[in-house]
Structure 1
Amino acid sequence: MTTYSPQSPDLAALVEDWLDWSEAAALLGVTPAKVRTMIRDHELAAAAPHSDSGLRVPAAFLQDGLVVKGLPGLLTVLHDGGYDDREAIEWIFTDADLPGRPIDALRENRGSEVKRRAQALA
């Protein structure tokens, strides 16, 4: 997992709502340790949105008590392509090639095009 650096994009401006691991765990019905494992296994991604904050998970990665469908596969593709969590989150929330952000497409069950574009980056 990456940490904040001054050269990093301002993720706080890209991602509106963030969850600490306890909040994410509560929404998923798991322990914070399981959230840590999910981040390690690229089922979720976490980054520090501010220089003075710890690692957090974008709230948009969770929907109806589950990880958004297609997100783990997309994160794996991005990580295999050399992206770290911070870069993956940035891409998921800013890619202008889709109608809307990739996270919006995933949340609307339109993940095939998102994954195809991510594979093209790798």
Structure 2
Amino acid sequence: MTGATFETTWLSLPELVEATGEPLSRIRRLLDERQLIGSRREGSLKVPAAFLVEGEPLGSLRGTVIVLHDRGFTDDEAIDWLLAPEDSIGIPPLEALRAGRKSEVRRVAQSLG
């Protein structure tokens, strides 16, 4: 049984500044440190709003992104995987991360590639 793709809005850097209350320099640092990842598919860099929880980067995102990068994923591929339904989890990995299922998501991520 496969669920639906995780629906999210996409935030530009100025929108991230507004959503987090952090200065642009801090947003860039969060991106550099992989606490957030974004995509340039539609021009300027945008980050899925679902990567934020109460104005902060989702805590379990960074380690999961690092696992995906270690498996050879680009940022775009990592975002796609996080938002798409994953049969072995039953829901999109991002939804599982937001529900506190970090270990399960990372175990699946480590088996990819």
Q: Which residue of 1 aligns with 2:14?
A: 22
Secondary structure in 2 matching 1:19: strand
Contact in 2 for aligned 1:70/1:111 (Cα 8 Å): yes
Q: How far apart are 1:83 and its partner, in Å?
A: 1.0
Runs of 4 or more off by more than 6 Å in structure 1?
none
**Partner residue in 1 for 2:77:** 87
How far has the Cα of 1:15 moved from its partner? Answer: 5.0
Structure 1 distance, partners of 2:94, 2:102, is 9
Q: Give the partner amino acid of 2:94.
A: I
Deviations 1:32-73 (A, max 9, x none): 2221221122111000243xx311000000011211121011
SS in 1 for 2:64: helix
Tell me the TM-score normalized by structure 1. 0.79
Distance 1:99 1:112 in 2: 15
Residues 19 and 59 of structure 1 are in contact (CA less than 8 Å); yes or no, is this contact kept in structure 2?
yes
Residue 14 of structure 1 deviates from its aligned partner by 6.7
Query: Contact 1:69/1:107 (CA < 8 Å) preserved in 2?
Result: no
Question: In 2, Cα distance between the equivalents of 1:109 and 1:20?
Answer: 26
TM superposition score normalised by structure 2: 0.84
Separation of aligned partners in 1, 2:17 and 2:90: 31
Ranges in structure 2 where 5+ consecutive residues have no aligned partner: none
Matched, 1:110 2:101: yes
The percentage of counterpart residues that share the same residue type is 36
Aligned residues: 108
Structure 1 unmatched ranges of 5 or more: 1-12
